[in-house]
Structure 1
């Protein structure tokens, strides 16, 4: 059953537009997903990884803000607020797309993927 649920989840996640580039996640996450035996446990793995990526995003945002002049800080602040609204709105669609339990994984995958990508983007700003 474990491989059946994981296979279906991966097939669904692979088909979602936000999962096209299949970003690298932590070893803890990969291990968690490999041992997950239900949609609920897979969701817990994603939630824990999202928490890690969200912390990384917040740290990258603070560092990026610290390296910018005041006018650029305002633009980044505005962009970040809009990005959060977009991520939340976009991923809410996946959380409610079919009405089934897979929506939990699809919504979580969307939030995780978008948060990781934004953290990567903010970290790249620090080098400019």
Structure 2
């Protein structure tokens, strides 16, 4: 038994080298987000988790652009048109979310489902951003 222990511990030590490790940094109560030790490379995502994370980032960027255009457009409108846009935007958000939920449902339970959902959110958000940009560029 004693002659197998060194081999056992060597195998355990070597196998632990191939396991990716995640370190936490800046995890204070003011900043509870975890930061990964390695930077995410969305140009070469290798795993479904990475692909899902990249899809999340892409959607967040699209949503940020949408909000920028929306905030530029609102002050250019009369109060009645402003209220109509707010109502339309709220309805659009419900439509977008429901439509993307439907699209994701085809992959329910699969690891690709978040990518499908987030891709739909991004695509739909980009289309809406273009619509709002067109309103901004017109004579309101």
- What TM-score, normalized by structure 2, do the two folds share? 0.65
Deviation at 1:121, TM superposition (A): 1.3
CA distance in structure 2 between the aligned counterparts of 1:79 and 1:111, rounded to whole angstroms: 17
Larger helix percent: 1
Aligned residues: CA RMSD: 1.6
Q: How does 1:90-101 map to 2 (within 5 A)?
A: 90-99=99-108, 100-101=110-111
Deviation at 1:119, TM superposition (A): 1.2
Q: 1:82 aligns with which of 72, 91, 94?
A: 91
1:60 to 2:69 alignment: yes
Deviation at 1:33, TM superposition (A): 4.0
CA distance in structure 2 between the aligned counterparts of 1:126 and 1:98, rounded to whole angstroms: 37
Q: 1:107 aligns with which of 117, 122, 137?
A: 117
Deviation at 1:52, TM superposition (A): 1.1
Aligned equivalent of 2:128: 118
Deviation at 1:85, TM superposition (A): 0.2
Between Structure 1 and Structure 2, how many residues are aligned? 98
Unaligned runs of 5+ in 1: 1-31
CA distance in structure 1 between the aligned counterparts of 2:71 and 2:106, rounded to whole angstroms: 34
Q: Which has the higher contact order (CA 8 A, sep 6+)?
A: 1
Is the CA contact 2:52–2:112 (under 8 Å) kept in the aligned structure 1?
Answer: no
Local SS of the residue matching 2:137: coil
